[in-house]
Chain A
Amino acid sequence: MNLRRVAAVASKEWREVTRDRMFLLLAFVMPAIWMFVFGYGLVLDVEHISFVVVDRDHSALSRDYLYRFYQSRYFDFQEALEGEGDADVWLQSGRARAVIIVPEKFQERLLSGQPAEVQTLIDGTFPLRADITKSYVIAINNAFNHELLVDFLARTRGLSRSEAQRRTSPLGIEVRYLYNEEVRSTWSTVPALIMFSLMVGSPLLTALGVVREKETGSIYNIYSATVTRLEFLVGKLIPYVMISAVNVAVLWLMAVLLFAVPFKGSLWLFIASSVLFVLTSTGIGLVVSLLVSTQQAALIITVVVSTVPTILFSGLIVPVSSLSRASQFQAHLFPGMYYTNITRGTFLQNVGLAVLWTDILALAIYAVVLGTIGYHLFTKRPRT
């Protein structure tokens, strides 16, 4: 390998990328924008559920009941309606996701020891959100029931409220969330978004960079020169690996400073595995570029083989363990999942090589396999 030739290819490529506005945008601006947009946009917490109420009772107890919803950070009160008819309009237009209907004689029945039924209508368009909404409603309802029970016991048995409280809930439960103590979804998505931004940008950039030469015919400069296949490929990839490395740093800083995600693990482990992942993602671009001959085809195929699986199977949105068996299998085929494990592991869990070595090994295998395929697919004396 002659380093002068590698340097010639690499510096030419670097200049082209940095002088072409489209490439420059794709290289340095897009990953940061993705991180910014999805970091704020892809919040999976179900909060601020807009709701309306129909209070047919207008009693002290019904107001007390509904007050618990007004107070909750999970619910956003919109309006008190007169009748159920209006509720449909609110739900259909999407201005409310839930309707709570308190029946007549709510207070009367409860105080007289009879059961009452509060009707709750929930927009079920998105099952996940509907489920979570339902569980919030049930939780608030249970708390209210419990309160009533405590009141009843205090009144009838002459116990103090705290005593009644203790008797009615003998078994307490204490939950502590580990790693993501506040169960903030940004803490979980932002490290995965580092993977996403790299996985979308870097294969695309690499594929376009190589195919562009094929499309214009400047690849013949390489074919007809004495530069070897390895020298060309190494020289060609160096700028893209460098760009991605810069992006890793920028994205890491954004995660820590902008999104305030704690980084608890080993920085060296993170850097080393990021380099491996960058090699893998540029490798995907390289292999795509050698199989197609136009920039359009490169763009489409790269999106299909890297972007879509990354969004669906990498654990970015849905944890791999909650996917179906078939999807889990597919998830294991794409490198995104392994790197997501590493970013989440190093950011949130402070786990080390002992746990992550399988993921790192997988990435290393990808890098080597893709590189080898690329090397063998590239020929300086093609058939057409």
Chain B
Amino acid sequence: MDQPEILTPPPAQVVRVRGFVKQYKQHIAVSGVDLEIHKGEIYGLIGPDGAGKSSLMKAIAGVLTYEGGTVEVFETMIDTERSAERVKQRLGFLPQGLGLNLYPDLSVDENIDFFARLRLVPERELAERKARLLAMTRLDKFRARAMKNLSGGMKQKLGLICTLIHEPELAILDEPTTGVDPVSRRDFWAILAELLQERGMTVLVSTAYMDEAERFHRLSFLSSGKVLASGTPEEVHALVPGSMVTFEATPQLEAISRLKTGCTQVEALGPVLRVFTDDTNPVSAAQAITSYLGDIEPRQLHVDKLDLEDVFVALLLRETDQPPPSPELPTASVSSANHSLAIEAKELIRDFGTFRAVDRVSFQVKPGEIFGLLGANGAGKTTVIKMLNGILPPTGGEGWVAGEDMKTAGGAIKERIGYMSQAFSLYLDLTVEENIRLFAGIYGLDRRATNERFAWIVSMAGLQGYESSLTVRLPMGVRQRLALGCALVHQPRVLFLDEPTSGVDPIGRRHFWDILSRLAREEGVAILITTHYMSEAEHGDHLALMYAGRIVAEGSPAAMKAQVEREAGQLLEIVTDQPGLALRQLERAGFAGIALFGAKLHLLSRDPAHDEVRIRESLASDGLRVLGAAIRPLSLEDVFVHRVMALERRDRETTKGAAA
């Protein structure tokens, strides 16, 4: 950006990386990365698993050697253990893996004390900081609880406290939000933003989730050990001019194949299609799409700015020169003449002792439908799936899957359902072919059927050329499609997917969802998926949000968003030059529920025009400039956070009321 910045001195550099190369034996993990981190910013490293984020962060933290280039932290060259030691007191490092660096048998208090004493924090300061951080993260009630008994979100916050207890100037956080539900994630970012302002800390943070990119001041997008793009979110946006056209069209499959003749990115989100065009003008972009569609009439068409994820996908496609994935689903010999419901849950209840994990849950999934079950960790999603799979008997209520009553069906039902877990449950030391044949053997397929299904899976999942590769060597995206293939080996009519897409690169993720929607649309397979990544939930035809064992909201993604807009208002985005100060000023002025996204503030408003004026006035009185204000479409994450926060508030009030 060519903004004249005469008055501000050049920002102080905390980290400077030049031509960084990291090699593990023959494998080059990172090749030639440059990076500069300025004091006081949140710098994001974004990329899928295996992109090289962790290697780079560990090298900066001085806990990993490297083969080429230079790494300077606080103007100290990190090239030996001795030099690394010199800056470590000023660093805090949170390694990857939710709560894995904490000590499970130690209490919250003891964990924090250990980290503090290791860093020689004086006891008085320790007590004071600990009290402040525990209060801020609302962990103060759980001080004596053993870490292993904390929820995912609480572990994440405890990890953050332990990393920051010695008040480092630079915090290096490796995928702190992976595996945590949206409310906890938003909480996490809020806490981090608050600490950043209070302490003038600098943060280097990595994530595999593209939708978090907007939260960073500056970022680098890594893929296969290289930087594909870096800069502020706006600068990265500017690399790929274009817009996203969203609409509904039927028949959807025909529309997709017509669009693919000219468009590189076509994505089906339930009934909605999202198509990328490099046209930035909304009118001509819409026209271009309409012309591709021919006689298919698009409904509810609107043109939006690109998400950063769309930008990354475009960059990746540009970089790899690979054609957009377009899986041809080979026709299988089985037709689905079954018109009844694929899954029906009726008043399902499950108690564990006195604790009711699932409370009268009812829903229906039709054949060919993608049904998303959303909820925080511990909301009861997995328990519902286990009951429907016949692994766990329900305490009360009924469940039918593929026409069979779960209570009586027993083993027979296993032949009609497919199950794919987060861990992918593949045998990593077997080849792709061996894995598929093993699963075929487990389901008792004969030789002919096995060969037939093997060919089908390879072509469906795009595994051509990988047949004799060891599974452990596959990229995550390919591994995921193999796992899907193995879950489909016996042609199930119902497919359960339990958080299936963590750590996969965006192209791989879209490829995966392409396959899923084709499976649903063309083969009529009913798909039940649980996830707490909301950008994924957009793909569902129908969603149910679970909270404390109950379904608290249900509907299509669009309907759920519309409902929140009716209840709480539209999403107003404010861009200011000093977002931290602005946030506090606005909270003082009585605005509630403001979330900080990098340089932007998000809040829900019933009367955006009026609120915008109030906000401008309120900030102007404090000498803060509003650089822009706009109404943004709600994301499912906003819906999730809004719903769950409201429920949590209500729970707190009822417990308070009961206590009083």
Contacts and interface: CB of A to CB of B under 8 A. Distances in A.
A226 B102 CA distance: 18
Given A12-B106, A380-B84, A5 B117 contact: yes
Given A224-B93, A226-B88, A218 B117 contact: no
Interface-central residue, A12, A15, A20, by most chain B CB under 10 Å? A12
B105 A16 contact: yes
A381 B64 contact: yes
Given A8-B114, A381-B81, A216 B65 contact: no
A128 B62 CA distance: 61
Interface string B88-119: 11011101110011110110001001110111
Contacts of A20: 105
Interface string A15-49: 11001100000000000000000000000000000
A383 B81 CA distance: 11
Given A15-B106, A225-B88, A381 B65 contact: yes
B126 to A, nearest CB: 11
Interface in A74-98: none
A144 interface: no
B100 A224 contact: no
A299 B77 CA distance: 39
Nearest to B113: A8
Given A12-B106, A16-B105, A220 B117 contact: no
B119 A225 contact: yes
A71 interface: no
Given A15-B106, A16-B106, A227 B118 contact: yes
Contact of B118 (A221, A380, A382, A383): A221
Given A217-B95, A224-B61, A380-B63, A2 B120 contact: yes
Contacts of A225: 88, 115, 118-119
Contact of B63 (A8, A19, A216, A223): A223
Contacts of B96: 217
B103 A224 contact: no
B85 interface: yes
A384 interface: yes
Interface in A216-268: 216-218, 220-228
A4 interface: yes
A3 to B, nearest CB: 11
A220 B93 contact: yes
Contacts of B355: none
B100 to A, nearest CB: 5
B89 to A, nearest CB: 5
B329 to A, nearest CB: 40
Nearest to A229: B81
A223 B117 CA distance: 15
A218 B81 contact: no
A269 interface: no
A327 interface: no
A217 B101 contact: yes
Interface string A252-292: 00000000000000000000000000000000000000000
Interface in B271-301: none
Nearest to A218: B101
A293 to B, nearest CB: 13
Contacts of B103: 12, 15-16, 218
A7 interface: yes
Given A220-B63, A226-B89, A381-B80, 17 more contacts: A4-B120, A217-B95, A220-B101, A223-B93, A224-B91, A224-B92, A225-B115, A226-B119, A227-B118, A380-B62, A380-B84, A381-B63, A381-B64, A382-B64, A383-B64, A384-B24, A384-B64
| 8 pairs of A and B residues whose beta carbons are closest in the complex | A8-B117, A224-B93, A223-B63, A19-B105, A220-B95, A381-B81, A218-B101, A12-B114
18 contacts: A7-B117, A8-B114, A15-B110, A16-B105, A216-B100, A218-B101, A220-B61, A223-B61, A223-B93, A224-B61, A224-B93, A225-B115, A226-B119, A380-B63, A380-B85, A381-B63, A381-B65, A381-B84
